[in-house]
Structure 1
Amino acid sequence: MSQPEIKSTLPTIGQQATHIFAPLQREIDRVFSEFGRGFGMTETFAVPSLDFSETAQGIELKLDVPGYTESELTVTVEDDRLIVHGHKTDQTESGDKTYRVLERRSGEFTRQVTLPRTVDAEGFTANLKDGVLTIVASKTNESVGRTIPIQAASPAA
């Protein structure tokens, strides 16, 4: 005898939120994304999204930095860390305007990534196109480790 199928009113993971609580979820998301604005916390904001991939030839990082120019971003390598720093100045105009909505952010971010030991520290390139910062580095030809041979102990005399 088969069991009757039980239908759930809740969406499954990854399903579009079209259920009765979707408007509430969107409002909660909006409140958390704008949390700091009401307290004057506009100096820093969320770090950009990052994709980090590795191939046999090297590594590639992609960061979403829409609205940034090359002069507002710096990329540095220190030891085994890649550091991306962005700084955007205030974009509001002074004068006789009264802002009703102010959502364009200013401030700065810093994003750090630990690099694999095989990355060539001198072989980095960075390119900014369509709001995506792409950083590429090649790998060195040096081996990461080596095998140490084990020798038989000579008998004691």
Structure 2
Amino acid sequence: MSNITRWNPISEFEDMMNRYNRMFGLARANGEREGKDLFSRSDWAPAVDIKETPEAFLVEAELPGMAKEDVKVTVHDGVLTIQGERKSEEESNDKKLHRIERFYGSFTRRFTLPDNVDENSVTAGFKDGLLTLKIQKAEPKEPKAIEVEVR
């Protein structure tokens, strides 16, 4: 006798992304919750490039057709979050839509920051539909030996 299990492609995709994130050291303990939030709150996801220099990490997100007022960037508990909404054009009587390929609606992208960054150093720029974030690296914390008195 065999058990029948309903196939859930979203769950399999989340599992694959969690494995990928763990492989590159990007996962957190609550990584599963972050993946579910991404699917439940986002209508689309902007393309993002992450680059590293000796001094900083650079995050570039493509947000064409958006204004900087439509984007919110936060850092909380080691997670960088980029949120926003791209509104669709209002339909008018003198326009007929033949094809819509661009995505509209809200989005949320989350990235787990490595331990060697200064979360308070995040700076942001927005030009020509490109959001650029710069996160300075921090000095690695020296391990501190604690002497324990034996009684």
Structure 1's 52 and 98: CA in aligned 2 closer, same or farther, altered over 3 A? Answer: closer
1:85-136: CA deviation from partner (whole Å, max 9, x where unpaired): 1212231224465433334442011111110112111111111112211100
Alignment match, 1:13: none
The aligned amino acid for 1:82 is L
Equivalent pairs, count: 109
Alignment match, 2:72: 74
On the 8 A contact 1:86/1:109 being kept in 2, the answer is yes
- Cα distance in 2 for residues equivalent to 1:60 and 1:136: 5
- Cα distance in 2 for residues equivalent to 1:55 and 1:100: 44
Alignment match, 2:117: 119
Aligned ranges 1:50-69 → 2 under 5 Å: 50-69=48-67
- Cα distance, 1:145 vs. partner? 4.5
Structure 1's 115 and 106: CA in aligned 2 closer, same or farther, altered over 3 A? Answer: same
**Higher RCO by CA contacts (8 Å cutoff, separation 6 or greater):** 2
- Cα distance in 2 for residues equivalent to 1:105 and 1:52: 22
Higher mean C-alpha displacement, 44-53 vs 120-129: 44-53
The 3-state SS of whatever aligns with 1:71 is helix
User: What TM-score, normalized by structure 2, do the two folds share?
Assistant: 0.60
Q: CA RMSD in A?
A: 2.6
One of 107, 113, 126 as aligned partner of 1:109: 107
Answer with 1 or 2: which has the greater Rg: 1
- Cα distance in 2 for residues equivalent to 1:96 and 1:52: 42
Alignment match, 1:138: 136
